[in-house]
Structure 1
Amino acid sequence: MKNLFLLLTVALTLSCCNNDDDTNTSTNPINQLPPATQTGENTFGALLDGEVFIPSGGTNPLDCVYQLVSGQYFFGLQGNKRDEDFNRITLSISTNAKELEEGQSYQLIENEIGNAYATYSFATNATTTSSNNSGTLTITKLDLDNQIISGTFSFDIIDFEGNLRQIRDGRFDMQFTQ
C-alpha cells in the first residue's frame, strides 16, 4: 500500500509539471528539416513559403549529378514531392558549364553558360531564377573521390502565376553520379 501511495504521488506530481509549448522546438519548421551534414546522407530540405519541403514519394524524389561533359562541369540537384492534390512540386539547383568549389558561394540567376540557377516547378509549369529574383548557393563540401556534395541555398522566384515564392534555409548532403 505504501508503494502504491508513493507511485500515485509521483504520477500526480509529474502530471502537474508545466509543459511550456513555446519552447517545443519540434513544431518549428526549421527543426523539421534534415540536419546539415556533410557525409553523403542523401538528404535535401528547405522551407518553401515557410512550409517544410522534403522530397518524398513518387519515382525519383531526389537526384543529384555533377558531371564533366566536353570539358565543362554541370551540376544538377532536384527534390520532388506531391501535394495533397497529387501535383508534383520540384525545387532544383543547377549550373550551366560552371565548375564548383568547396567553400564558395554562387549567385543563383539566369540559366546561361557559366551561371548557377534555381528552378521551381508546380505540376507542368516551371520558372527559374533571374537577376531580379535570385538567390545563393554555398558549397560546404565537395569530395570528388567519394562523390559527395553538400551545401546550403536560398532563393526567390516568381512562379508561373506571378506569385513570389520564397525558398529559405535550404540544405543538402548528397552522393552524386558523375
Structure 2
Amino acid sequence: MKRIRYIAIYGVLIIGLMGCKKEVANPDSSNLNVLPPLTHEGKNTFGCLVNGEVWVAYAPFTVGGTIALEGSYHSDIGYLHLRGNRKNNDLNHNESINLRIENLFSSGTFTFYTNHHVSRGLVDYSDNFNCSNYYLDTNLIRESTITYFSLQKRIVSGTFEMDLVNPSCPGDTIKIREGRFDWCY
C-alpha cells in the first residue's frame, strides 16, 4: 500500500512539473536595482519604476511563504489578475503591485479593471509609503500593453504604467512607469 502511495505522489509531481517551464523570479539581492528585461518566454519576471525607483518582484524561498509573482488567468472570460510581490525583511520591504485586465484574448492595449474605483494597485505592508493602500483612479493613467499572449504556451507578457492615489492622503500620488512582466500561468 505504501508503494502505491509513493508511486501516486511521484506521478502527480512529474505531471505538475511537465506543464510550463517556470523560472523563479528571484534575482539575487545584488541585482534588485535593475529592471528585468522585456522577454516573451514565460520567465516569471515583474518589475517597474515606482516614483522613479526600481521595484522588482522578489521573495526569498520559504515553504508556504510569499511568492514573487503570482496570479490567475481565466480563459473563458479573458480575466487576468497578476500580482508582483516584493518581500525582503533586511530592507523592510513587504509590498505588492496588482494588475487586473478584462477581455484579454489577444495582444493589444488594455485599461486596467478598477472594480468600482476601489481596486488596489499597490499595497504596502511595511509602511514605507505615506499610506498603505493605493488605488487605481479612473481619471489617471492605468494601462497595459500585452506584447505577447499564447494560450498554447500559457504565457502572457507586457508592459504597464499607472498612477495610484489614496483618498486618505490627498496629493499623494504614486507613479508607476516602465513596468514589464513575463509570466507563465
TM-score exceeds 0.5: yes
Name which of 111, 124, 129 aligns with 1:107: 111
Flag the structure with larger Rg: 1
Query: Does the 8 Å contact 2:42/2:184 carry over to 1?
Result: yes
Aligned residues: 140
Aligned residue type for 2:169 = E
Query: Does the 8 Å contact 2:69/2:84 carry over to 1?
Result: yes
SS where residue 32 of structure 1 aligns?
A: coil
Q: CA RMSD in A?
A: 2.6
How many Å apart are 1:103 and its aligned residue? 3.0
Q: Does 1:147 align with 2:151?
A: no
Under a length normalisation based on structure 2, what TM-score does the superposition of the two structures give?
A: 0.66
Q: How does 1:51-66 map to 2 (within 5 A)?
A: 51-57=53-59, 59-66=66-73
How many Å apart are 1:51 and its aligned residue? 0.6
How many Å apart are 1:119 and its aligned residue? 1.0
Structure 1 residues 99 and 118: CA distance shift in structure 2, 3 A: farther
Name which of 25, 35, 38 aligns with 2:37: 35
Aligned to 2:182: 173
How many Å apart are 1:43 and its aligned residue? 0.7
Query: Does the 8 Å contact 1:108/1:130 carry over to 2?
Result: no
In the alignment, the residues of structure 2 paired with residue 110 and residue 62 of structure 1 have an alpha-carbon distance, to the nearest angstrom, of 20
Structure 1 residues 148 and 37: CA distance shift in structure 2, 3 A: same
Aligned to 2:121: 119
Structure 1: runs of 5+ lacking an equivalent = 1-30
Aligned to 1:161: 169
How many Å apart are 1:130 and its aligned residue? 1.7
SS where residue 72 of structure 1 aligns?
A: coil
Under a length normalisation based on structure 1, what TM-score does the superposition of the two structures give?
A: 0.69
How many Å apart are 1:107 and its aligned residue? 1.8
Query: Does the 8 Å contact 2:134/2:174 carry over to 1?
Result: no
In the alignment, the residues of structure 2 paired with residue 136 and residue 73 of structure 1 have an alpha-carbon distance, to the nearest angstrom, of 16
Q: Does 1:93 align with 2:114?
A: no
In the alignment, the residues of structure 2 paired with residue 139 and residue 85 of structure 1 have an alpha-carbon distance, to the nearest angstrom, of 32
